[in-house]
Amino acid sequence: MKRINNLLLATSIGLAGLFMAACESKETTSDGIEYRYINKGKDQTKDGEFVVYHFTAKTGSDSVFISSFDQPVPPYLQHSDSIEAQSGIDEIFLGLNRGDSIEVNSKAEKIFGENLPPFLQPEDDVIINIGVVNVLEEEIFEDYFNDLMAERQRKEEAQAGVQLEEDIQTIENYISENNLNATKTESGLFYVIEEEGSGEEVEQGNTISVNYTGYVMDGRVFDTSVESKAKEHNTFTEGRTYEPFEFQVGQGSVIPGWDEGLQYLRKGSKAKLLIPSPLAYGPSQRGEVIAPNSILIFDVEIKDVKKN
């Protein structure tokens, strides 16, 4: 494969000037979306090449509501001469070339069609800026993407290490304030056995049934398998079946804190798991209650253990 020398560096330097050049021309798509070239590239994208780009979308009042710069890697598309545009926005993106920098200024309804975001009205003005980072042959793109993912992983691991230390301190303070008799594991997980079970030990590969109530540090419950708990904490959902959750341990079907923490228990055990965010959902937002880097606490009861 062809290697990319200093491509990541060149990309980061080039992004600063994507939207800075003077306007060259105005265009209109077949469905009436107006756009202008801030800079127009000269090299036509070839069939099969990958177009790597960045974009921002903001309202007429200059409030940004989507930005690819917030993502770990820039978006991309593979150019195909055989694909037909289904909308004006398709026309713009399918026509991107190396060096292009474009500003789209139109009504929300024209840009989003049936996928109009709930916070926008059909007649709201929307401005989208698109800047092509690079156009790459397929074999070069593979290396480029792998390099981006490796860099992303390195940064995430470094950040997770810092976050883990902060979370451990927070959990230790919580344990002290609530007078809990907790055990810390090598990974940074804490668990409290509140009632020792007498049945089979939970081991990797077992299929187990667990009743649980999950909440964040301020006590807000985000999920539970127990109907009475759901009603108590105003999370009850009509029509949902409240019953123990069954899954196979150690297969990655649950968060790492569960896969590890439940293996310290046995059938009949009741316990509390205090899970630092890197062993839960990390920097991801999961609904209204679980914010990025949330420490999760679970009250669990092992209802059954099946040896596979």
Average pLDDT over residues 21-37: 80
CA distance 167 to 153: 20
Q: What is the predicted pLDDT for the residue at 286?
A: 86
Higher pLDDT, 257 or 15: 257
Q: What is the predicted pLDDT for the residue at 2?
A: 38
Say yes or no: 200 and 298 in one domain.
yes
Assess if residue 168 is contained within a domain: yes
For the chain, what is the domain count? Answer: 2
Read off the CATH number of the domain in which 43 is found: 3.10.50.40
- Which is nearest to 97 in space by CA: 132, 47, 138? 132
Residue 281 pLDDT level (bands cut at 50, 70, 90): very high
Q: Write down which residue in 75, 102, 136 finishes a domain.
A: 136
Assess if residue 90 is contained within a domain: yes
Torsion over CA of 39, 44, 46 and 50, rounded to 10 degrees? -10
Q: Which residues span the domain enclosing 68? A: 7-136
Q: What is the predicted pLDDT for the residue at 22?
A: 47
> In the numeric block, which tokens belong to residue 280?
């839960």
Assess if residue 255 is contained within a domain: yes
Say yes or no: 174 and 283 in one domain.
yes
Say yes or no: 122 and 204 in one domain.
no
Q: Using one digit for the tens of pLDDT, what is the confidence trace for 290-301?
A: 998 999 999 999
pLDDT more than 70, % of the chain: 92
> What letters, b where the CB count within 10 A reaches 16 and e where it falls short, cover 237-250?
eeeeeeebeebbbb
Assess if residue 289 is contained within a domain: yes
Is the model's pLDDT at 8 over the cut of 90? no
Residue 25 pLDDT level (bands cut at 50, 70, 90): low
Say yes or no: 166 and 302 in one domain.
yes
Assess if residue 143 is contained within a domain: no
CA distance 122 to 45: 33
CA atoms within a 13 Å half-sphere pointing along the CA-CB vector of 92: 29
Residue 18 pLDDT level (bands cut at 50, 70, 90): very low
Assess if residue 300 is contained within a domain: yes
Mean pLDDT of the chain: 89
Higher pLDDT, 290 or 12: 290
Q: Is the dihedral of CA 109, 95, 38, 21 positive or negative?
A: positive
Angle of CA points 64, 66, 71, to nearest 5°: 125
Q: Using one digit for the tens of pLDDT, what is the confidence trace for 178-220?
A: 999 999 999 999 999 999 999 999 999 999 999 999 999 999 9
Partners of 35 in beta bridges: 27, 104
Q: What is the predicted pLDDT for the residue at 71?
A: 78
Assess if residue 150 is contained within a domain: no
Say yes or no: 128 and 245 in one domain.
no
DSSP 85: P
CB-CB contact of 263 with 204 (8 Å): yes
Average pLDDT over residues 15-37: 70
Q: Using one digit for the tens of pLDDT, what is the confidence trace for 87-145?
A: 999 999 999 999 999 999 999 999 998 888 888 999 999 999 999 999 999 888 888 88
Task: List Cα–Cα distances, 214 to 28, 222, 268, 277, in angstroms.
Answer: 52, 6, 19, 13
Assess if residue 114 is contained within a domain: yes
Average pLDDT over residues 34-56: 93
Q: Write down which residue in 118, 136, 154 finishes a domain.
A: 136
> One-letter amino acid identity for 165?
E
Say yes or no: 131 and 62 in one domain.
yes
CB-CB contact of 111 with 33 (8 Å): yes
**235 in helix, strand or coil?**
coil
**17 in helix, strand or coil?**
coil
CB-CB contact of 192 with 176 (8 Å): no
